[in-house]
Amino acid sequence: MKIIMLGAPGAGKGTQAKMIADKYSIPHISTGDIFRANIKNGTELGKEAKKYMDNGQLVPDELTVKILLDRVANDDCKNGYVLDGFPRTIPQAEVLDSELNKLGDKIDYAINVDVPDENIVNRMSGRRACVNCGATYHIVHIPPKKEGICDKCGNELILRDDDKPETVLKRLSVYHEQTQPLIDFYNAKNVLKTVDGTVDSAEVFGQITAILG
């Protein structure tokens, strides 16, 4: 079962991808996690990716494609995987399709978590991240016990640059221009399934499991 998660940044597709991975015992592969690990470790790839992410831009294909294809070649992906954050553009989707075809493989489902832009700006501007351990909170939905302080390690919580409203709006603009065409791409392949992402995450997951069986 090979699944792609689609949806705007902040739509909650990462949360759903983790829940799918747990339920169906397949790996959750997030390009965002790979980039963040590189950024935290100060690698050259991380430094380059950070420049784009801080400006609300998408990381270029050449920094993304090879990492992902190497990852899905691992043994733990033999029963499937959930891709979160890739592909982001039609060229990436075409490369992925082509590489999978060479292996006699294909994507089974592209799940679109649909959330209006206004909801996303409100969601993301409420996020807070720990500068030390990376734990994440939300000032409304998952507030820390003490305002501005991480429950886990006691360090300061910050609003990350890529969660600031002006950056979120820029990211949404890029998404609508570059990523939304993927909805048409996967719809044409008859693998697209759309769920309502504005409801509680458990309800969203219920919609997804009804699709996956």
Strands, E, within 24-102: which ranges?
A: 28-30, 81-84
* Catalytic positions, written as ranges: 13, 88, 127, 160, 171
Of 93, 92, 104, residue with least CA distance to 63: 92
* Helix or strand holding residue 194 (H, E): strand 192-196
Give Cα separations from 155 to 34, 42, 54, 106, 131 (angstroms). Answer: 24, 21, 22, 44, 7
**Contacts of 118 by beta carbon, 8 Å cutoff, 6+ apart:** none
What is the distance of C-alpha 41 from the center of its chain? Answer: 20
Count of C-beta atoms within a 10 Å radius of residue 70 = 9
Assess contact for 11 and 120: CB atoms under 8 A: yes
**Contacts of 187 by beta carbon, 8 Å cutoff, 6+ apart:** none
